[in-house]
Amino acid sequence: MKHNTIVIGTRKSPLALWQAEFVKAELEQHFPDRQFVLQHIQTTGDKILDSPLSKIGDKGLFTREIEYALLRGDIDLAVHSLKDLPTQTPDGLAISAITKREDTRDVLISKTPTTLLTLPKNAKIATGSLRRRSQVLALRPDLEIHDIRGNLNTRFKKFFESNLDAMLLAFAGVHRLALDVHISEILSHDLILPAVGQGALGIETRDGDTDIISMVQRLNDLETELATKAERSLLRSLEGGCQIPIGAFATFADRDFTLSAFVGSLDGKETLRDSISKSDVTTVAQAEDAGIELAERLRQQGGDKILSAIRNPLH
């Protein structure tokens, strides 16, 4: 069925709106005869701002209500930060396009010029991510980690009104909202591996809606798709979510594919890091197999024990 007015579902935070507007502009360029409109939807993660993400549930905190709207037919497609999308897509829905990803690194925001490794001893550093917490404490066990929640603009406001020394965020969001001036350091992957799918947008559609699917596939970037599907396959194999400190990054160079991953305890005292390289990875199945293989290697190196202790802290 051909849609003349296409409704794009999105969260209403400034970053989510930037992402949705970006996709809307791209689609308008490809399909000038169609009309595209945004519909704002509030998610559970947007409503509960006084608790750490890891304490208020697991998967789908920033996507579930949007996916319900898509299943009901209230919207025709949804734009998400790919890192917010659970690795299991609900029945009836599909991720039909993944956009070319932005720089995947994390950044340090601080009130005075510094780096993660040169922050003063016992400095207070804010993050809402267990992945960042684990990797930072592995590097700097002296640092005090403080939880911070809210959309990007809210976090900046909270940070500059606090006695915190630094804050960790994704470069992609900071850059998209033109807040680069506050970046003290862009953290290399050698220091901190990003979240699965970081920097990419996932466009979700209904299964079988061939008109919408064929439209959004014009925005799909194959290299990003293969990389992020390898990362998501690894995360799915390790059964990770918001509550699990897992980082991963896949990259291509001249058809050679490398996937690196991190698993760590909440206090950063136990960490595992490994990578896998393949040549001639050209299909999603090959990329996903690499993710499964690396996940299995991490398990055998003690990843299962680390993850089990996080999931069952009383045992």
Q: Which residues are catalytic?
A: 84
With CA atoms as reference, report the closest residue to 46 among 17, 82, 24. Answer: 17
The two tokens of residue 240 are 């990770």
Neighbours of 182 (CB within 10 A): 16
> Checking DSSP bridges between strand 5-10 and strand 35-40, what pairing results, if any?
parallel
State the Cα–Cα distance between residues 253 and 270, nearest whole angstrom.
Answer: 31
The two tokens of residue 138 are 């592995």
- The contacts of residue 149 (CB under 8 Å, 6+ apart) are 49, 50, 51, 52, 53, 128, 155
With CA atoms as reference, report the closest residue to 247 among 199, 193, 184. Answer: 193
Torsion, CA 126, CA 132, CA 134, CA 139, rounded to 10: -90
> Checking DSSP bridges between strand 124-126 and strand 166-170, what pairing results, if any?
parallel
